[in-house]
Amino acid sequence: MSDTPNQPPTPSTPPKPPAVVTPPASSAPPPRKRGGLGRWILLALIVILIVVVVVHVLHRKAPTRGAAPQVVTVAPATTGSMPVTLDALGTVTPIATVTVLPQLSGYLTEVGYREGQDVVKGQFLAQIDPRQYEISKEQAEAALAKDRASLAQARADLARYTQLNEKKSIAEQTYSDQQFLVAQDEAAVKSDLANIKQFELDLIYCRITAPVSGRVGLRLVDPGNYVTASSSTGIAVITTIKPTTVQFTVPQNSLSDVLQRVNAGAKLPITIFNSENTKQLATGTLYAISNQMATATGTVTLRASVPNDDEALFPNEFVNVRLLVDTLQNAVLVPTPAVQSGAPGDYVYLVNADNTVSVHKVTLGPSDGQHTVITAGLQAGQRVVTDGLDRLNDGTKIQPSNGKPAAANGASGASGARNASHAHAASAASGAPAASAPAAAS
């Protein structure tokens, strides 16, 4: 227990009542914002404006505006001459290619030519050892002398037997036998003479000469080799360089035109170009036509002679040949780029009087690359579009330009294709690219 005396309790302070706040009697509700109504009005006005613009756009009439005329290059159709040619791939074919073969056997003792040398007919080429043939000739000559002596004796006996037979001094059989003996000796002499000629010929064969004029190829055999008459290699190969020939083929559809001219006595000239068809090499004249048509290709082979004095043509070389068949006079000509091909066929864009164009079907003839013959569908003086055809259609308004017409693409290459095909079919393409094919106009 605690010794602390009891103290009287301290009186506690009573709690204060909470304060009550009384709002003033004159307070009002918070004011509302006025910006919302304005936004709704502005939105309504915008919608009304959009509706008005859409209605105006949908109901207004489109303004009539003329399309701008196309600027093109035009050229008139003219009259002139046009060569009718046929282009073909040809081969230079020598007049003569000779493999010189030995005609007897023996050792080759000498070669008298250089590789690539030009030789003339009869020029020395090689020598075969002739000694064994000289010995054989001497033996034949000895046999001839013996047989001639026998013949002389037989004839002398026959002359004596003839006298005795006239006097009835010998038997008839002996006289007849002597006649037969003389005939045998005469035949022996003839045989000996033939043997001598054969050995003389063999000696000639020992000296090998050029059978034709031309150029010798590479050496095929060297001195010291034993050659035989059955050797297929030969001593040398000689090829005639000038003059020469060129062999080429033409399609059967073009043969009738060539035959008509040849049968009329015309000398058809040819022009020869290199394999790339970029350089003229020579000229010549057609002189032979094969007697058969190749059934596999439908072509016939022709051959032309060429002087080849400058030796521009090499044997077995591939070349391009252009044969001049005929020349058209007073033909209607247009620049080749004006000719188009498409669904209507072959056509041109004809320039009308009101500077509009119309699709005009034409029939094509030969071409030289720069100009094309129009055989039907166009008259001289009419104007056609030559450049700027890409965006043209039937009825397009144009503005003619005096610019230079575009040149035909691949004039040299397209010439042969068009000459060979347009003479018999009107489906060959022109040198310029074909435009989109519009509807054909009558």
Q: According to the model, what pLDDT value does residue 49 have? A: 86
Q: How confident is the model at residue 47 (pLDDT cuts 50, 70, 90)?
A: confident
**pLDDT digit string, tens, across residues 31-44:** 555 556 777 888 88
Q: According to the model, what pLDDT value does residue 208 have? A: 94
35 or 312, higher pLDDT: 312
In single-letter form, the type of residue at position 104 comes to L
**pLDDT digit string, tens, across residues 14-29:** 455 544 444 444 444 5
Q: According to the model, what pLDDT value does residue 6 have? A: 46
Characterize the bridge pairing of strands 97-100 and 236-239: antiparallel
**pLDDT digit string, tens, across residues 74-89:** 999 999 999 989 999 9
Of 93, 133, 101, 95, residue with least CA distance to 210? 101
**pLDDT digit string, tens, across residues 191-200:** 999 999 999 9
The neighbouring-strand residues paired with 249 are 301
pTM value is 0.62
- Mind listing the domains of the chain with CATH numbers? 72-84+329-422 (2.40.420.20), 97-237 (2.40.50.100)
- Interval 127-155 mean pLDDT: 95
- Interval 364-372 mean pLDDT: 88
DSSP string, 90-154: EEEEES-EEEE--SS-EEEEEE---TT-EE-TT-EEEEE--HHHHHHHHHHHHHHHHHHHHHHHH
DSSP string, 350-366: EEPTTSBEEEEE-EEEE
DSSP state of 250: E
DSSP string, 25-58: TT--PPPPPSHHHHHHHHHHHHHHHHHHHHHHHH
Q: How confident is the model at residue 316 (pLDDT cuts 50, 70, 90)?
A: very high
Per the prediction, the chain carries an average pLDDT of 82
Q: How confident is the model at residue 419 (pLDDT cuts 50, 70, 90)?
A: very low
Q: According to the model, what pLDDT value does residue 224 have? A: 92
Task: Evaluate if residue 243 carries a pLDDT over 80.
Answer: yes
**pLDDT digit string, tens, across residues 160-172:** 999 998 888 888 8
- Interval 223-250 mean pLDDT: 91
Q: According to the model, what pLDDT value does residue 205 have? A: 94
